[in-house]
Every structure is written in structure tokens, then in C-alpha cells.
Structure 1
Amino acid sequence: MSPDLRYPALSDLKATCKRRVPWFVWEYLDSATGRESVKPRNRAELDKVLFRPAILRGAIVPDLSTRFLGQDYAMPVGVAPIGMSGLIWPGAEAALAGMAQGTRLPYCLSTVATRLPEEIGPIAGDMGWFQLYPPKDPAIRADILTRAHKAGFRVLVLTVDLPGPSRRERQLRAQLAIPPKLTPAMLWQIAQRPAWALGTLRHGQPRLRLMEDYLKLDGNAPSTAHPGYLLRAAPDWDYLHAVRALWEGPLVVKGVLDPQDADPLRAAGVDAIWVSNHGGRQFDGAPPALDALRQIRATLGPEMPLIYDGGIETGLDVLRALAFGANFTMMGRGWHYALGALGAQGGSHLAQILRDDMASNMMQMGITRPEQAATQGWAPSPAPES
């Protein structure tokens, strides 16, 4: 059966992914923190953004191509970084990087990926972005950035919304640590998911390979430290300035929700601001990302490039974010739902779903370019107080 008939929407891919990956993997991918209230808040705000259909416009031929940070992309959506991506589906980083290069979408590799920048950079080619979780050792930081640059990554994304670890209660109940330590219960779950298990045998046990390169070099690390120990840094403005001085290409700061931070970031030489509440994985008390996007755009005016993530599920959601001031959008979990459902081919299928949905909705709206959504959107007024 054609994937278009069996998996016409991301929700179909998500349901199949849940059946094909071990339970502890699903809990890692799908969970947030606390009561997980951020995820429905993100969804609710997106659903409030409505568009008036256009009539009598004649034939509409949508052009989804987007130029962002000096690069041309096929549409204004890309692959956000997810740590331990190769745990979710074996070979995930290479599969998504290859998909991104083939479909001309940006792919952002995480510092805590299961593959090295030197492996993934050549696959992503000019579509490669690299996300930096801030290591506390300046020498390690400088070396990682040098390696990312030499591997061909063009854009650097500094994630700043992790001053400390989150609890992620569902992940704790699943007994999953990062890096993973297998328990008898997890081995039983793996045995029930043969496609995932065989793929993991081929690709090797998921590990934080990049940080493993540095753990043995840190003389201050305790003997029991794991590779994630090196990332326990709470970045400040001096840290940002140091990263800006080290990285010659476009620099994006990810995890911004407060409009008061916007102007100082611009003054610090940041090339784009990534508005994100980390998909609810870090702080259950965060506001919906779309509301923050609207406020930050109002603060900065029209010129500063803004990226949005937070609940994107469809091409229509992409247009909703653009209507509220984003120049580009990113999706994390969705691409991994697609891999879990269809393996290495899942990313290409999801890209086609998003492309078709964007084009269909643009025709309804009577627009030919994605950025024109900003002139078509409207959000209903809140109900009057009783």
C-alpha cells in the first residue's frame, strides 16, 4: 500500500511509531516534564490562529521556497535537534541528514547525538546546522566548534534554556538514563520490537560519542562521571560572547521566550533568535511558544530573523507560525515519529506530507508565498468575562 494512503498525516506515523519502538524509547521521545501542560498549551495556541479563505483569485501556484540566513531551502521547515536521536531509531542522524540534503531542508545535529559531526556533516552537506549544548570547559567548547566547522556545518545553534536538568517523570518511570543502561525490563521490551532491535545491532548501542571523546581528557571529572557530565554548564552572557567570537558563520540562540531578552541578543551579534519552550521537556511552567513569538516579533520589528518551534504538526501549523512573525520553523519529534513508522524512508514521506499540506492551504488562502500568511491570519478575540 502506498505510504500516502496508509500514512496521510503525522498522526498516522505517530501511532505506528508507538507500536514499533520499545516502550522506554517511546517515553523518551514523546514525554515532557511535570504534568506535561506545555504540549497542549502549544497546540491550543496554534489552533487559535485562523485564516479567511480567499475566493475568485484564479489559479494559485504556491512557491514554498524560502531563503533564510543566506541559504535557499525548499520550504520554511527543518529538522530540530533531538539528543540521542539514534536511540529513537537506529541510524536516525544519518537518515535525517540524508533526507534533508535530498529535499533541501536544514538538519540540525545535536551535541548529544549518537554519531559524530565528522560522520554526519558530509551527509547533510550545505543543509547542516550544529546545535551546541554548552560544555563548561572552554577548551572543549573551542574544539567542538572547530570540529563542527571542519565537518561542514554552516549554522551554529546555541541552546540556552537548560540551566539545570529537568525531571521528565515518564522517562524516570521507564528507568531510562542518558546514556542508557539496560535493565531486564528494557531487554524484554526490545525483544518485542524486532525491527528496532535488529537495526540497533547493525548500528551499535547508542552512545554520546562526541562527549566520550572528551571525558578522558577532563582531569576534574569524577571516576563515575558519564559523558553528559561535561555539559553541566549554565551559560551566561559572557559565554554567549565567547561563542560568538569563536564561530564565524551564522549564530542562532535557541530557547528564547522573554521579549526582554530579544534586543540584548541582537546587540550581542546573534544572527537569528529561535523561539522555543523545548517542547515542554524542560519547564512545565513555560508559556506557549506562539504567544512568545508574537511578543518577540513586536519587540524587534520586522528585520530580525526568528525561528519557531513548539507543536508544529502540519503544513498549516507552519503557516500559522509565519503569520505570527516567524521566518522559519523547526520540528523535532515529528521526524522521529516518521522514522519509527517507516524507517529511513519516513523523513522523506513526512516532508512530502508537509509540502502538500502547505500548498493546499496556501491555495485556500489565495497566497503564492509562505510569508504572505502574515497578511491573512487572524486570531479570534477571547471570550468576554462573565
Structure 2
Amino acid sequence: MTPDLRYPALSDLKAACKGRVPWFVWEYLDSATGTESVKPRNRAALEQVLFRPAVLRGPIVPQLGTRFLGQDYAMPVGVAPVGMSGLIWPGAEAALARMAQTTRLPYCLSTVATRLPEEIGPIAGDMGWFQLYPPKDPSIRADILARARKAGFRVLVLTVDLPGPSRRERQLRAQLAIPPKLTPSMLWQIAQRPAWALGTLRHGQPRLRLMEDYLKLDGNAPSTAHPGYLLRAAPDWDYLHAVRKLWDGPLVIKGVMDAQDAPRLRDAGADAIWVSNHGGRQFDGAPAALHALREMRAILGADMPLIYDGGIESGLDVLRALAFGADFTMLGRGWHYALGALGAQGADHLAQILRDDLASNMMQMGLTHAKDAYSQLWTHGPAPES
């Protein structure tokens, strides 16, 4: 049976993933913080965005390609950074980077990945973005950025929405430490998931290799106090200015939810703003990211590039975000559900799902270009500027 028949939607891949990774891994991937109210809030906001179906438009040939930050991409969708990606599925970073290069989508490597930028940069090639959790030490910051640039990463994503650790109660209950400190319960969970276990044996214990170059831990730190957290600063505007001076390529600021910050970020040298509530993993009191996106576009006008993530599960969701002002969208958990379900093949399959669903819904809406989705909005209220 082909993947499209067995796993026609991301929800199918998610269900399969849960049955193929150890429970403590699932808790790491799927959890948020607090009561986890942000995850359904993101979904509810997307599902409230409705469009007018089009009729008598003649043949529609959707053009999915888009140009963003000086680079051509196959569609306005990319791979968001996920920490400890290789814990979720062995070899995840390389598999996603390879898919991104082949499919022509951006892949963003996390500072707290399980593989080094020197390993992943050449695989991602011109599709490579690098995400920076800001280190306190200026020399470490400069060294990480120099390594990312030398490895071929073209776009830098500075994450600014983690002033301190969140509790992530589900991860605490799962007793997850970084790097993982195996307990008898975890060993039993691993024994029930042979594909994950054998893959981990081949790839080695998942570790935060980049951060370990600068700080050694004894393996007893909880998942919310790994080397990335211990090295990281709570950045301010001076920190942003320092990063801007060090990085000569496109600079994206990730984790912005307050539209009042947007003009100052633009003036400080941001080339794009990434609207995100971190998938609910940091602050359970945040609004839906889609609502913040609309406010951001209204304040900034048409010219400032905006990226959106938060609850996207389909091509239709991509169109919803574009209609509310995004220029580009990202998924994080989704790609890892796909890897957990089907291994490296899962990433390629999810890319195909998103591509097909995007094209199908564009035809229903009479759209040749996805950026024109706002023209078919049914939702009451003024459409964002285009």
C-alpha cells in the first residue's frame, strides 16, 4: 500500500508516530507547557478562517513556487527548528536537510540539534537556515555564527521568546533529561519500539553536540535545563544589534507576538519577523499566533516579510496564514510526526501532502498564486494589506 493511501493526512502520520517512538520521546515532541491551551487555540484560530469557493473560473494551474528573502522555494512552507530533533527520530536532522534540498524548501537547524552545523550545512546546501539561541558569552556567540556561516547556512534565525525556561510538565513527568539518562522504565519503552532503538544504535546517543563544544554536563539536567538553556542569555535590544553586526546575511527574528515590537525590530535591521508562540511550549497564556499575525501585518504594512507558525497541518492552513498576512509558513512538530511514522520517507511524503493539498485548495478558490488567498476570505473583518 502506498503512503498516500495509508497516510493521506498529517493526522495519520501523527497517529503512526505515537506508536513507533518511545513514550518519553512522544512526550517531548507532542507536549507544550501548563494546561497546553495554546495548541488548541492555534488550531481554533486557523479553523475559523473561511474562504469563498470560486466557480466558472476555467482551468486553474496553481503556481506554488515563491521567492522569499532572496531565494526561490518550491512552496511557501519550510521546516522550523526543533531542539533535540535526533532524539525524536534517529538521523532526523540529516533526513530533513536532505528532503529540504531535494524538495527545495528551507530547513532551519536548531542550536540545540543533535548534529553539528558542519555536518548538516553541506546537506541542506542553499536551503539551510540556522537558528540561534543567544549565548551569554560574546565569544561563543561569534564562534557559533562563524561556524554556521562557514557551514553554508544562508539565513540566521534569532529566537527571542525564551527569557527563561518553561516548566513543560509532561516532560517532567516523563523524567526526560538532556542528554537522556535512561531509567528502567525508559529502557522498557525503548524495547517496545525496535525501529527507533536500532536507528539510535546506528546514529549514537542523541546529544547536543554543538553546545557540548562549549559546556559539559553530567547528564542529570532536566530537559528544560540542557546546555542550550545554561549557556543562553535573556537577550535585549543591544544583543540584537550585536548579532546584526556579526551576521551579514538575512536575519529573521523568531518568537514575536506583540505587534508593537515589530516596527522597532524592522528598524534594528531585521529582514523578516517570525510570528510564533513557540507551539505553546513556553507560555500557556499566549494568544493564538494567527491573531498576532494579523495585527503585525496591519501595523507593518505590505512590505515587511512575515513568517508564521502555529498549528499548521495542511495546505489549506497555509492559505489561511497567507490570507492573514504571512509571506511564508513553517512547521516543526509535523515533520517529526512524519519521520516517526515512516522514517526519512515520511518527510518526503509530508512535503507531497502539503503540496497536493495546497494546489487542490487553490483550485477550489480559483487561485493561481497562493499569495492571493486574502481575496477569497469569507471571514468577517477587513482583509490584511496585500
Aligned to 2:95: 95
Aligned to 2:220: none
Aligned to 2:134: 134
> Following TM superposition, by how much is the alpha carbon of 1:183 offset from its aligned partner in structure 2, in angstroms?
1.0
Aligned to 1:292: 292
Matched-pair contact (CA < 8 Å) for 2:64–2:369: yes
CA offset digits 1:5-59 (Å, max 9, x no partner): 0000000000000000000000000000000000000000000100000000000
CA offset digits 1:121-171 (Å, max 9, x no partner): 000000000000011100000000000000000000000000000000111
> Following TM superposition, by how much is the alpha carbon of 1:378 offset from its aligned partner in structure 2, in angstroms?
2.9
Aligned to 1:166: 166
CA offset digits 1:242-277 (Å, max 9, x no partner): 000000000000000001100000000100000000
Alignment of 1:1-386 (within 5 A): 1-215=1-215, 227-228=227-228, 230-380=230-380
Aligned partners of 1:378 and 1:279: how far apart in 2? 26
Q: Secondary structure at the match of 2:78?
A: strand
What 5-or-longer segments of structure 1 have no aligned partner?
217-224, 382-386
Q: Which amino acid aligns with 1:157?
A: V
Q: Secondary structure at the match of 1:20?
A: coil
- TM-score normalised by L of structure 2: 0.95
Aligned partners of 1:231 and 1:284: how far apart in 2? 24
Aligned partners of 1:4 and 1:297: how far apart in 2? 36
Q: Secondary structure at the match of 2:189?
A: helix
Matched-pair contact (CA < 8 Å) for 2:165–2:229: no
Q: Which amino acid aligns with 1:142?
A: A
Matched-pair contact (CA < 8 Å) for 1:20–1:193: yes
Aligned to 2:384: none
Aligned partners of 2:229 and 2:320: how far apart in 1? 39
CA offset digits 1:204-246 (Å, max 9, x no partner): 0000000111116xxxxxxxx9633543310000000000000
What 5-or-longer segments of structure 2 have no aligned partner?
217-224, 382-386
Q: Secondary structure at the match of 1:129?
A: strand
Segments of 4+ moved more than 6 angstroms = none
Q: Secondary structure at the match of 2:207?
A: coil
- TM-score normalised by L of structure 1: 0.95
Aligned to 1:222: none
Aligned partners of 2:229 and 2:261: how far apart in 1? 28
Aligned partners of 1:232 and 1:250: how far apart in 2? 22
Aligned partners of 2:368 and 2:348: how far apart in 1? 23
Sort the Cα spacing of 1:174 and 1:226 in 2 relative to 1 into closer, same or farther, 3 A: closer
Q: Provide the alpha-carbon RMSD of the alignment.
A: 1.2
Aligned partners of 1:229 and 1:25: how far apart in 2? 19
